[in-house]
Amino acid sequence: MALISYLSRSRRFEQRLAAARGRLLRLALAWCRNRQIAEDLVQETLAKALERHAQLRDEERLLAWLTSILANCWHDHLRHHREHADLDEIAEEDLGSTAGCPEDDCLQNEIVRRVRAVIATLPAGQRMVITLVDLEEFSYAEVAEILNIPIGTVMSRLSRARASLRTQLLEEQQAPRLTLVRRQAP
C-alpha cells in the first residue's frame, strides 16, 4: 500500500513539474535573454527538483521552491560564464500576441519588445526581482526566500528597477523620431 501511495504522489509531483515548466521558462528567458540557455536552466531545475523532491516540505509552495532552484541554477551559470557578452534577443515569435486586429497585435508586440529591451538593460539583481514580483506575481517575502536576500533588498531593488524602467521608457517616448519625406519629381 505504501508503494502505491508513493507512486501516485510521485506521478502527481511530475505532473505539477510539467505544468510549471512554461512559467519557469518565461522567467529564465527574462533573466538570461537566450532561449537555449533558458531551456537548459529549466531542464537543470526540473532535474534537481526530481532528485530532491523529498526536500519540498509544503507542496503548496512548489512554484516558489522551483523558482528558488532556477535562481540558483542561473547564479551558477553566471559564475561559470563570467563574461557578460550580449546574448541574442528573444525571437519575435516568442513575444506572442493578443487576439485582435493586426494593428493592435503589432502595437502590443512593440510595447512588449520595448519593455523587455529596457528590462534587459537592468542589472541582474534588479532584473530578477522585477520579473519575479511584477511579471510572476510573487510576494516580496517569497522573492526574498527565492533569491536568499533580505526583504528590504527586494524592495529597494524593485524600487530602483521600476524607476529605471519608467525613466528609460519615458525618455524613449519623448525622443524625437525621424520621419520620411517624399520628394516631388521636378
Instruction: Say yes or no to pLDDT of 74 above 80.
Output: yes
| Tens-place pLDDT, residues 24-58 | 999 999 888 899 999 999 999 999 998 988 888 88
Residues 185, 172: Cα–Cα separation, whole Å: 35
Rounded to the nearest angstrom, the gap between the alpha carbon of residue 100 and the centroid of all alpha carbons in its chain is 25
| Tens-place pLDDT, residues 137-174 | 899 999 999 999 999 999 999 999 999 989 988 887 77
Q: How would you class 54 by CB atoms within 10 Å of its CB: exposed for 0-12, middle for 13-18, buried for 19 or more?
A: exposed
Give the number of other CB atoms < 10 A from CB of residue 8. 10
- Full-prediction pTM beyond 0.75? no
Q: What is the pLDDT of residue 183?
A: 63
